[in-house]
Structure 1
Amino acid sequence: MHPLGALVFLLIPTLCASQEAPDATPTAAPTDIPPPATETAIAVPISEYPFSAFPPPLQTPVAGVVPVTDPREPPPVGSSLIPNFAQAWAGAYQEAKNKIAGFTLEEKADVGTGVGWMNGRCVGNIPPIGENGTKWPGLCLEDSPLGVRFGDYVTAFPTGVNTAATFNRKLIRRRGLFMGREFVGKGVNVALGPMMNIGRIAQGGRNWEGFGADPFLAGEAAYETILGMQAGGVQACAKHLINNEQEHFRTRESSDVDDRTQHEIYAHPFLRSIMAGVTSIMCSYNLINGTYACENDKIMNDIIKREFGFQGYIMSDWQATHSTISVITGLDMTMPGDITFLSNTTVRICRQREIKVFSDCFAGLLSLFAVSAASPKSLHLFKLLFFLKWQVESLFLEFCR
């Protein structure tokens, strides 16, 4: 967001942008995109869903909606005001556009891909960019929903289900705040929580991480937790998107859910998380109606980014990326990064132009899909992600070493 605590820069899909001269031709509507005439590349249309921020634009004011420019200063606990982070996101995107101008193709690819399982000091790591991190200092992504993992002298905070059982907004917010401060104190940029799956399967081994089986309670607990964590200075990550309701066969089972049930029960906590300005969301291991969560265009693009107006980035759960189709179905970061989806593979695809992507996303908000020096029908496979400004100023503290 903006100075003193918003997002530095987010989601600039210019990784594989054409290196030819800019084309001034306006973006065609999705239905007007012509097929490639002489191209031998594969034409892969980006999702048809348009994206806009939650809540409705300020040009049509909604009672009780207040602009928030700094996530470290959210509305007070118990307030009926709805925070609108649109100004903060707009500032973040503008900084992103300015920052990306000095990045090479390889550097852009590096920012969207982890360095491999535990190949750094954190459970997930984005490498520094430039000599000694002069262009971008990198990111540390660390578990867990109960506090800092892989560190000493850390606090084991109460479980999610116990926290929600208090029905006390003030306590839930304060838990999130002190959790966020501790993550920052340990040099963490992205805290991989809170978890907000409903716990449909009683034997689910990780149900205790979530806030219980009531979608309203889970949504309110997630809302207060995220406001608290990001007020403490760390990025929160809403997980696991979605229907990740059992551990047994979690990477192979398909959760078959109708649209009404999805919205009223399983997706509601994610909606409240987005209303709280959550920075990131993690897609899950399981399949949803036969499609892997991290490849699911309906979930990531249609519901989360279009309908709910999510302005942040979606990362994969660790090794939950199954194919490159994810890059056009809503996935923004692959974790932890492996031999299949490392940045050099992405760069090679971009340079050889093996896949031609005709994007119709540019017809919407420029702040979401900004076009750099490229044709409106620009080549790209990954969106560039950049995050919280105050973290950049205090990255990589030595406490976790």
Structure 2
Amino acid sequence: MEGGWPAGGGFLLYLTVSLLLPGKGDTFTINCSGFDQHGVDPAAFQSVFDRKAFRPVVNNSIPTRVNISFTLSAILEVNAQLQLLTSFLWMNLMWDNAFISWNPEECVSIDQLTVSAENLWLPDVFIVESMDVDGAPPGLTAIVSSEGRMKYDRPVRVTSICNLDIFYFPFDQQNCTFTFSSFLHTVDSILLGMDKEVWEITDTSRNLIQTQGEWELLGINKATPKMWVGSNLYDQIMFYVAIRRRPSLYIINLLVPSGFLVAIDALSFYLPAESENRAPFKITLLLGYNVFLLMMNDLLPATGTPLISVYFALCLSLMVISLLETIFITHLLHMATTQPPPMPWWLHSLLLNCTSPWKCCSAAPGKGNKGLGLTHLHGVKEPVELVGKMPGPREAELNGCPGSPRTHLVNLWVQFSHMMDTLLFRLYLLFMATFIITVIVLWNT
């Protein structure tokens, strides 16, 4: 007929309209003649396989609801330098396919089948934070029920962006997100939902997680925000995954050795100030602590400034201050026993006020140096050797003490050196205790 459609063109038009327009439910009922006890004839599903390029609905104005859940089965790596979380997930997708239905009573009681996923329409759901290509293995299958309910599970290794905060390392907790959304379909075509509660996902992940290494799963929460891209609105489900680092490795290898070295440095103050081994001992400790930091550098985060780095820096500073204090006291003792300068009156008065009520002068040589509450110093020259000769009685009476003025001055400077050593040691302990308590409080917040 003139102006009419060719036979072939009319068939294609009919096929297209039948796919796009609403139709009766019987149109997509699977013929049970292809079912038997030994399997299913692929020809029974051929019409469904031919429609896999189309979203499986009988009315395109009705969006397909895709239910999403997942199981976190492994936390493989947390890269603080690149801000990446590598994990292994089992993704579970469920939706309805209006092109598939059959009556189990007429089809030898078969109520579900396993069909190759390559032959079916699959929702283009992806993880927004993922930074690598989907690594799902090929040849996956989907479970199809007689009502057209599709269930598609696939394993995937996800390397996702995660905003990592390493300030509290190694007692840190991280919150990473997995946002599920569609590539192309807006809310008019695909709506996302869940067929499991969040607590079920959390409990299943805790029970099935394979790695018992550095990280442990704390909990999972969800949110359902919409995402605008230009004028298009996309549905999405955002899961917040909270993980915590197991700090035992870092406590044993970092904090405990560092604490031992600082404690030994504090105890070294009990070595006699006149000892020649005190300063070399502190220098050896300082060098050993630097070697320790170099060896343990690989265990620390490569980026950022975690609190533990501040802790190590302050420990190193304490050891340097301790060495400087020893150098200062050694200098005072050397000056007191060689060429003691005249003591200022205010310093002399301070010594009189700070000491117990002993006479502020040396006792007789035969009774030891008890006049100022001091014991005899090992390595300090005797007053006779320092002065060269014993003063006469008349000179001693004029000076108010039964000994030499030089001896009296030496003992005053020695006493001042010991007082400064005690004072600086107490300040050292106060600063160390304040610093350690502050770090512990910060780690516990």
TM-score range, shorter chain: under 0.3
Which structure is richer in relative contact order (CA contacts within 8 A, separation 6 or more)? 1
Q: Identify, as 1 or 2, the structure richer in helix.
A: 2
State TM-score, norm by structure 1. 0.21
Q: Identify, as 1 or 2, the structure richer in strand.
A: 2
State TM-score, norm by structure 2. 0.19
Larger-Rg structure: 2
